[in-house]
Amino acid sequence: MKPTDTVALKSTADLEQMRAAGRVAALAMREIAQAVAPGITTGELDRVAEAFIRDHGAVPSFKNYRGYPASICTSIDDEVVHGIPGPRVLVPGEIVSLDLGVYAHGFHVDVADTVPVGDVAARVRALLDVTGRALAAGIAQATAGARLGDVGWAIQSVVEPAGFSCVRDFAGHGIGRALHEEPQVPNLGRRHTGARLTPGMTLAIEPMVNLGSADVYIADDGWTVRTRDRSVSAHAEHTVAVTPDGPQILTGLDGVGDHILKSRG
C-alpha cells in the first residue's frame, strides 16, 4: 500500500489546526480525569466534558457519531472501550477509561486515558503502568520511513512480556478531517512490515490492554466492548503526527503535553 494512495496527508498548516484542537482535547481530558472520584456518575463526567469542549469553541467528535449518544466514552473495569456514560456511580477500586474526541478548525483529534478510582490493586496499577508505557513505545516508532508493523510490534513488546494481552479485534486509526481515516493501527505486529509511515500522516495510537485474555465481545447495547473472561482492561491514546523531525503528540499542552505518559511515572 502506498500511503499517498489511501491516506490523507496533512500540511504544516493542517497540523497547526489539529494541534489547536488537540489542546482543547488535552485540557478536557485533564478536567474530567481530575473529576474522577468515588460517588460521581459517568453521566456527570460526560456533562463536564461536553460543557468544557463547547465552552472552548469546539464540538465533541463522538456525539451522534454513527448514533453514539454521548460526548465521551467511559469504560469501567472489564469494559475495554466505547462504554456509554449514564447513571452508573464510580466506586473505590475501579478503573475507568476516559475516551474523547474534539472537532475544531476542520479537524478531529482523539485522546484517552484510564484513571483509578481511589486505591486499586497492585496488579491493576501495573496494568495502568504498562498501558502507558506501551503507548509511549508505539509513539516512539511513528517516525518517517518506519512501518505500521513497527508501531504494533513496539506496543506488543511492552505488553506481553509483562504478562498482559493486547486487544486484537480493535485498533488505532488515521484521523483528520474525518474521525476515522486510513490506516488502521493494530496494537501488535511484526517489525519492518505494513505501510510505510510518511510525513503528514496523523495517527490515533491507542493500546487496549487486558489483564487476562485478549478475547472481547460487544455488549447488548451495541457499543460497549467487554473482555470475554471479565478481566480488567485499560486504554490510553494520543493523536500523533509523523513529521520529518520525529513523532509529535498533537493532543497535548505546553508543560503537560505528555500528561498521559507522565501520569504513568
pLDDT band at 145 (very low <50, low <70, confident <90, very high): very high
Give me the pLDDT at residue 254, please.
58
Give me the pLDDT at residue 252, please.
84
SS (H, E, C) the chain: CCHHHHCCCCCHHHHHHHHHHHHHHHHHHHHHHHHCCCCCEHHHHHHHHHHHHHHCCCEECCCCHHHCCCCEEEEECCEEECCCCCCCECCCCCEEEEEEEEEECCEEEEEEEEEECCCCCHHHHHHHHHHHHHHHHHHHCCCCCCEHHHHHHHHHHHHHHHCCEECCCCCEEECCCCCCEEEEECCCCCCCCCCECCCCCEEEECCEEECCCCCEEECCCCCCEEECCCCCEEECEEEEEEECCEEEECCCCCCCCCHHHHCCC
Chain centre to alpha carbon of residue 157: 18
Q: What is the pLDDT of residues 12-24, one digit of tens each?
A: 999 999 999 999 9
pLDDT band at 106 (very low <50, low <70, confident <90, very high): very high
Lowest-confidence range among 2-11, 17-26, 134-143? 2-11
Whether 161 shows a pLDDT value over 50: the answer reads yes
Sorted by where each starts, the structural domains of the chain and their CATH numbers stand as: 3-262 (3.90.230.10)
Provide the residue type at 264 as one letter.
Answer: R
Give me the pLDDT at residue 47, please.
98
Give me the pLDDT at residue 253, please.
74
Give me the pLDDT at residue 2, please.
40
